[in-house]
Structure 1
Amino acid sequence: MCRFNSGFFYRHPILQQFKWYWRVEPDVHFHCDIDFDPFLYMERHNKTYAFTITMYEYHATIPTLWDTVKDFVKENPQYVAQDNALGYLSDDGGNSYNLCHFWSNFEIADMDFWRGEAYTKFFDYLDRTGGFYYERWGDAPVHSIAVALFQNKDQIHFFDEIGYEHNPYVHCPSGQAAYTQGKCACDRQRSFDYDGYSCMRQWDRIQ
């Protein structure tokens, strides 16, 4: 599943007519009215990838992933964006991975990025190592690392206004207006944004 979602779903023949996708998992809940078109927002503002929840990965599932990423970057420095989001992924300038990733059960993204040269070579490089099989390299850290390194940080978007739940985690919009206007029925006391296992602080620091 992780390998398919990392490297193959966007190559499926039925998806070739599409540029954008919104991943919707079974039994997720949206707690706010969505009164705008997220795809148009992404297109008009030159966004590549959008998320609502960010958290740490389990190190035991990806023990060699970051070393493999560093090897790829060393061999292919031309793909690293000038204004990238490395500061979200690493607390020490890239020497180590802090395990932060965008929770990919909600993601809105441009499949042309996955289909592009940088990500194609990146995925193929990872795939040749066997890490999807011998470890558990999830599509969430793989997508997150790629978009954070190979795109400018302002091409990644946090949809704060979309109230989203994938049990047990919930994101509730931070602004008051959505609640006073009756657009949201989201229990902000359950919001995961600044939980101890959340990576929102790492995201905030690069903004």
Structure 2
Amino acid sequence: MHNKNAVYFANNVDVDSEEQLPGTMFLKRVTFDYIKRNNIKPKQLEILRDAFGNNTIRNYFNNFEVLKMEFFRRKEIRHWIESIDSTNGIFYYRWGDAVLRYLTLALFAEQHEVLHRVDYNFPYCHKCR
């Protein structure tokens, strides 16, 4: 990560669905309202556009992740997270760390700053037999 100036090493991409977690899709409106209100130019616009499906939202399967804490402590990222926190969506709709991490990186991290496990052929097994 250091050699590549990366801020995040991601595991697989996963999805949450409105059916499983009612209120999940409210996060789309909250995210785009935040972008407009704060004049944010998302660093990974394509990833952000792909984040939201008809009734799904992408996230990083984050039971394995490596991150650069300095990045996540930046003022603009703290402001984003505080804004999300003020909606109470974390409590009402169970907007979890995985989906918030995915959106945070789409908004504030350049593509080259996010590494993906599958690109490095690192094996990973959750609940393997």
1:90 equivalenced with 2:52 (yes/no): no
Contact 1:52 1:162 survives alignment (8 Å):
no
Query: Residues 122-201 of structure 1 correspond to what in structure 2 (within 5 A)?
Result: 122-160=80-118, 161-167=121-127
Alignment match of 2:74 (pick from 116, 129, 142): 116
Alignment match of 1:54 (pick from 1, 9, 13): 13
TM-score of the superposed pair, with normalisation by structure 2: 0.83
In 2, Cα distance between the equivalents of 1:71 and 1:78? 10
Read off the aligned partner of 2:66 and give its amino acid letter: I
Structure 1: runs of 5+ lacking an equivalent: 1-41, 169-207
In 1, Cα distance between the equivalents of 2:68 and 2:39? 22
Structure 2: runs of 5+ lacking an equivalent: none
How many pairs does the alignment contain? 121
The aligned residue for residue 62 of structure 2 is: 104
In 2, Cα distance between the equivalents of 1:134 and 1:101? 18
CA RMSD in angstroms comes to: 2.0
Write out per-residue CA displacement over residues 114-165 of structure 1, whole angstroms, 9 at most, x where no aligned residue: 1111210011001111101111101001000111121111111012322111
Write out per-residue CA displacement over residues 58-78 of structure 1, whole angstroms, 9 at most, x where no aligned residue: 224212111111111111224
- Secondary structure of the residue aligned to 1:47 is coil
Q: CA deviation at 1:97?
A: 1.3
TM-score of the superposed pair, with normalisation by structure 1: 0.54
Read off the aligned partner of 1:151 and give its amino acid letter: A
Alignment match of 1:73 (pick from 35, 41, 52): 35
- Secondary structure of the residue aligned to 1:57 is strand
Contact 1:48 1:110 survives alignment (8 Å):
yes
**Which of structures 1 and 2 has the larger relative contact order (alpha carbons within 8 angstroms, sep 6+)?**
2
Please list every run of at least 4 consecutive aligned residues from structure 1 whose deviation after the TM superposition is greater than 3 angstroms. none
Query: Residues 1-80 of structure 1 correspond to what in structure 2 (within 5 A)?
Result: 42-60=1-19, 61=21, 62-78=24-40, 80=42
Contact 2:15 2:59 survives alignment (8 Å):
yes
Contact 1:103 1:140 survives alignment (8 Å):
yes
Indicate the structure (1 or 2) with the bigger Cα radius of gyration: 1
